[in-house]
Each structure stands twice: as structure tokens, then as C-alpha cells.
Amino acid sequence: MEIEKKDLMPLSFLKKERYTASFQGMRYFMEKKEEEGENHLLVACWPEPFAFAYTKEEEKSYKSFPFTEEGLEDARTYLMEEWERRKG
């Protein structure tokens, strides 16, 4: 089982809203960030059970991707790699 493209929100949604979800013990969010005039897709993940605000910073991981369809696919791959790493 894995996070599939159909499980993620499209870029048109992410232009306006943060997307928060979970997958088998890992929580994550995706959101658009603008840096130096360019849009990026910021992804953060952390272990359950706590919300982002209540999780220790050292338990969180972040990565930025281009705000494109390819970047969204790379973010999906990153999340699966993080899930594999975290499940030990």
C-alpha cells in the first residue's frame, strides 16, 4: 500500500489551501510557499499521534519541491521514502 497520486490534492487546490493528511502512522501537509518570487511546494511530515503544533521539531522533516505536476510527484515519492524510513 502506498500514497498514490489520486490520494493527493491537485495543484489548483494547493494554490489556495494547505492539505493535511495521514498515512499509516505518519502525518503530513503540503502547501504553496512563495520564495523570491517563485512558488514552491513545501512538504512536512511527522509521526502520529500528535498534531503538527504539538510534535517536537526534531521529529518533523521538511522538503521543498517545484510547484509543478512533476514536483507533486516528487513530493509523493518523498513521502513514501519518509514513511519507509520512519517505520524502521
For the question of whether the overall pTM of this predicted structure is more than 0.75, the answer is yes
What's the whole-number mean pLDDT along residues 75-81?
97
Supply the pLDDT for residue 39: 97
Q: With 80 as the cut, is the pLDDT of residue 88 above it? A: no
Length of the chain: 88
Transcribe 43-69 into DSSP letters: EEEEESSS-GGGS-GGG-EEEEEESSH
pLDDT band at 87 (very low <50, low <70, confident <90, very high): confident
What rounded mean pLDDT belongs to the chain? 96
pLDDT band at 1 (very low <50, low <70, confident <90, very high): confident
Higher pLDDT, 32 or 86: 32
